[in-house]
Amino acid sequence: MHVHGSFQHRGPALGACSISRRDFMRGSLAVGAGVAVSRLALDTWAPVLAQAAQAELPPVTRFLTPDQVAELLKLAQSKGAPFAEIYGEYTINTNFVLDENELRQAQYGVLSGVGVRVIDGDAVGYAYADEFGMDGLREAARVAAAIARGKPGGTPRAFAATKAKAPFVLVRPAPLTASEGEKIDLCRRGNEAARTRDPRIKQVQVIMADTSKAILVANSDGVWAEDRQFISRLAVVPTAIDGSNRQGGMAMAGGAVEADYFDKVRTPEQTAHEASDTAIALLTAVDAKAGSYPVIINHGWGGVLVHECFGHSLEGDGIRKKTSIREKQLNQKVCSDIVDIYDDSTVPNARGSFKVDDEGTPSQKSHVVEKGVLKGYLWDRLNADLTGNTSTANGRRNSYRDFPIPRMTNTYIAGGTSKPAEMIASIKNGLFCKNLGGGSVNPADGMFSFVVSEAYLIEDGKITSAVKGATLTGNAADAMLRIEGLGDDLAIDTKTGTCGKDGQWKPVGVGQPTVMFSEMTVGGTRA
Amino acid sequence: MPSADTNLTLQKAAESAVGFALKAGAKEADALVESGAQFRVDVLQGEVENLKQAQTRGLGLRVFVDKRTALVYTSDFRENAIKDIATRAVELAKKAQADEAAGLPATPPAMAADAAGLKTYDPAVAALTAEQKIDWARSVEKAALAYDPRIKRTDGCSLQSGVGETWYASSAGKSLTYRNTGIGGFINPLADDGDKQQSGGYGEFQSHLEALSTPEAIGKEAGKRAIDKIGARGVPTQKVPVILHPDIAGNWIQNLFNAFSGEQAFKKVSYLTEKLGQPIASDLVTLIDDGILPGGVGTAPFDGEGGATQKNLLIDKGVMKMFAYNAYWGRRAGARSTGNATRGYQNAPGIGPRNLYIANGASTPEQILASVDRGFWMVDSGAFGYNATTGAYSYQAAGFWIEKGKVAFPVAEITVASTTLDMLKSVVMVGNDLRYNGNVNSPTLKIAEMTISGRQAAG
């Protein structure tokens, strides 16, 4: 059974419990939550929401003192575990949905609580409470503590506040600084720009979702780390309808950005035009030709390829359990010589950046592939400890309701030296993938696939007709060896990615220059 | 008399929220309370790797003030907290725009007929101890490893279970409640295949313990799936008949459901918008969404806004019969809610399936296999490859090549493509092997022709 990325809430809450472990990624939206107003006409939103107070993001220490954290750690270690950890979180989500020219929904929600993790050898006990009340937290600590089989004891060390430096600090983070009215106005601008781009754009949905998250990680080794993480995302989703021919587009803006980003860096109009142009181009697109042939993938979000094809198989859980295809490949040639790959949680304004990961480890830039040779893996604390490695700041979790697992942050192929136009000119018959949709990989056997959301034929070195319905597939073991050219146009997409693994969703960045594959299998209906 | 900072019971919380909202000026209100005990254990090499337990709960309140709507939620069940959010919800709603279609469902809250017979709750699941569940996961892993000596490891067996209680309270009538249970497990064994390895994930999820296969059977099935892939290779690009394994057919119809959403149809973005009442599939295809399937994982006596659930016939012998609605989109479209309002306490009601399945046909899977002279049997796929706007279908696939009605060799590194409307019309055989596992299921299907894309040149 697979989990599906989708906008719709599907199935009943409890029964929908997912039991698949396939890793995948979607370019869609995080689900917001909370206080919601439905159906506001756009011309009346200002008086309606003008009174909305400026949001504030309280630190977790407002609800939980160091003494209380120490008490919980002691309780969590009371059954003999050598390690215990407290993760406190206060998250504000806001979500605006514009649909059918109206504000269909305005939501404001708080997700807050505490998770307690206890580790004894390779066994993890985890429990959480949706509150900061000490009765509930003591109960969670007791439940988590029960995993331990050692002798009672274990005294937490005194806390030492982390010296980690944030890779960048937002002066006026968009989620907190922009007013609700301003956020709704971004939706309105996106809607108008998408619709006026072409009369065949008949429906437009615009979603402005943002998250402000304050975390505290404290553990029995004395780690005490706090972080504030902000992410905004504007998504424009138009549908072009021409008779019974329907085609969709989607484009995003945002990241860990300042409030003026949407005016200075990427506007709702740019985003909307990009999305509408995709939908319109697809109306006259030809069906993808099935077969194996040269493929060029656009820079930026195209890096979802390296995320799936490569990144997942470097995650420390698969390495420790020897289930990843990369487990035996350290210091071996795994890509063509021109390829360097990084996982970097310090990329400015990216969705996958932070000061500390969800285990309190300071962010870092990891050079995992050097000139085609595999140099390192992505470690969380547990898997690093069990294999004699050190955490690379890849311990991440969806929320306090989840224990951390090794995850990518911002993963990208470094820029090369080729001119993108020359790479395209060098191909007689091939496919230029301007934009990719979701992708997935099975890290155990290396099989991957990507939906191509916008593509064009390359004929005699020139980009010609739009192509619809293409899927790229292959095996990560050899696909990365077929990289023949890297452009000099590295772009890291900081605004789009949400990665799903083991039921946990995390924002990530991906990136690459324009990448040329000598051959890749393209799925389509034209044989 | 409980003090103001004592937690209310689930029922009292739901009813108080509605009461406070009416007192604050709401004309109508409804509240959904969800509570559950969640359990997860991962076992690796016979040892517990992760053990996670939690009790969760939440309350969502929707208020209507003269056709103006707001929704709030909280996990704080103290009376004062509930009073506070109810008041805030009413204040918020007063500032919204009136919407003629807003409001509670036209019919008062009601349970489906024979709610007692729906079997949503299994005391045997609720009674399982942590030790029993750990043992179950151990047995799955052991059986997977024992299936064949070439299976040297797994990435562990994960078991998840839950025991839930839901309350719905409304200003339009009586409160409704039901309890449910769920339990399932998943394992991904790895088989050595020269310098490669093959994986064979298999899992089940059921509401009742007795519906779950034995751990030995689950481990064995997963092991078989990994071993059967050994030696998998590509095939050339070509058009051939394709047999969809029940897992693959299930994934397809899960995506297909969105085109039956009344919201998508009303906005004319569904590719089925103009198809109501028309033949859209071969007459072998009957597609059902059944909210009252006894023991179904998606079964419940009422939906997210207190509407009685029902059995909906979406495609009857090839003819498209209906769209699925909640109250709001039903009103917009001039139709009735079909009991498909899905709602978590944090969200406004959407539209989703309950137990979605293609009805059994007449052919055994063996007969379907035997009928294919040369073709592909698709048993595994990538996660994405369906276009919700157009119904285009293009997936990375793995499975078996079929020659003269028999499995010839395992296949990987190909894609399989068509469009949903073409596939529906080209269903030429429907298996009699429907089994309920999770809430979306199908028997084996044979599609007359799909396009295979592979690495080797054709011919």
Which pLDDT score, from 0 to 100, does residue A434 have? 96
Q: So what's the pLDDT on residue A46?
A: 35
Q: Which of residues 40-79 of A touch B (CB under 8 A)?
A: 40-41, 44, 47-49
So what's the pLDDT on residue B5? 57
> Quick one: pLDDT at residue B325?
98
Q: Does A465 touch chain B (CB under 8 A)?
A: no
**pLDDT, one tens digit for every residue, chain A (527 residues):** 222 222 222 222 222 222 233 333 332 222 222 344 444 434 333 333 333 334 578 899 999 999 999 999 999 999 999 999 999 999 888 888 899 998 887 777 778 899 999 999 989 999 998 888 899 899 999 999 999 887 766 778 899 999 999 999 999 999 999 988 899 899 999 999 999 999 999 999 999 999 999 999 999 999 999 999 999 999 999 999 999 999 999 999 999 999 999 999 999 999 999 999 999 999 999 999 999 999 999 999 999 999 988 899 999 999 999 999 899 999 999 999 999 999 999 999 999 999 999 999 999 999 999 999 999 999 999 999 999 999 999 999 999 999 999 999 999 999 999 999 999 999 999 999 999 988 888 888 888 998 999 999 999 999 999 999 999 999 888 888 999 999 999 999 999 999 988 889 999 999 999 999 999 999 999 98
pLDDT for A153? 63
**What pLDDT tens digit does each residue of chain B (459 aa) get?**
445 556 789 999 999 999 999 999 999 999 999 999 999 999 999 999 999 998 888 899 999 999 998 888 888 888 988 998 899 889 888 877 888 999 999 999 999 988 889 999 999 999 999 999 999 999 999 999 999 999 999 989 999 999 999 999 999 999 999 999 999 999 999 999 988 899 989 999 999 999 999 999 999 999 999 999 999 999 999 999 999 999 999 999 999 999 999 999 999 999 999 999 999 999 999 999 999 999 999 999 999 999 999 999 999 999 999 999 999 999 999 999 999 999 999 888 999 999 999 999 999 999 999 999 999 999 999 988 999 999 999 999 999 999 999 999 999 999 999 999 999 999 999 999 999 999 999 999 999 999 999 986 543
Residue A517 to chain B, least CA–CA distance (Å): 14
Residue window 356-415, chain B: list those with CB within 8 Å of chain A: 381-385, 387-390, 392, 394-396, 398, 412-415
Report the pLDDT value the prediction gives residue A84, as an integer from 0 to 100.
96
Cβ–Cβ gap A4/B251 under 8 Å: yes
| Chain B closest-CA separation from residue A107 CA (Å) | 8
A445–chain B Cβ distance below 8 A for any pair = yes
Q: Is A65 exposed, middle or buried (0-12, 13-18, 19+ CB in 10 A)?
A: exposed
Question: What is the chain A residue with the closest CA to B54?
Answer: A127
CB contact under 8 A, B439 and A442: no
Interface contacts A/B by beta carbons within 8 Å: 348
Confidence (pLDDT) at B323: 98
> Which of B54, B396, B451 is nearest residue A447 as measured by Cβ atoms?
B396
Instruction: Please list every residue in chain A whose beta carbon sits closer than 8 Å to the beta carbon of residue B267.
Output: 100, 203
A-chain CB neighbours of B247 within 8 Å are 1
Suggest the residue from B61, B331, B346 to mutate for an interface test with chain A (most A CBs closer than 10 A).
B346
| Contacts with A113 from chain B: Cβ below 8 Å | 75
Closest CA of chain A from B285, distance in Å: 22
Is the CB of B307 inside 8 Å of chain A's CB atoms?
no
How many angstroms away from the CA of B93 is the closest CA of chain A?
Answer: 6
The 3-class SS string of chain B reads: CCCCCCECCHHHHHHHHHHHHHHCCCCEEEEEEEEEEEEEEEEECCEEEEEEEEEEEEEEEEEEECCEEEEEEECCCEHHHHHHHHHHHHHHHHCCCCCCCCCCCCCCCCCCCCHHHHCCCCHHHHHCCHHHHHHHHHHHHHHHHHCCCCEEEEEEEEEEEEEEEEEEEECCEEEEEEEEEEEEEEEEEEEEECCEEEECCEEEEECCHHHCCCHHHHHHHHHHHHHHCCCCECCCCEEEEEEECHHHHHHHHHHHHHHHEHHHHHCCCCCCCCCCCCECCCCCCCEEEECCCCCCCCCCCECCCCCECCEEEEEECCEECCCECCHHHHHHHCCCCCCCEECCCCCCCEECCCCEEECCCCECHHHHHHCCCEEEEEEEECCCCECCCCCEEEEEEEEEEEECCEEEEEEEEEEEEEEHHHHHHCEEEEECCCCCCCCEECCCEEEEEEEEECCCCCC
Q: What is the pLDDT of residue A185?
A: 93
- pTM greater than 0.80: yes
Cβ-defined contact of B155 to A239 (cutoff 8 Å): no
Of A14, A291, A444, which has the smallest distance from its Cβ to B36's Cβ?
A14
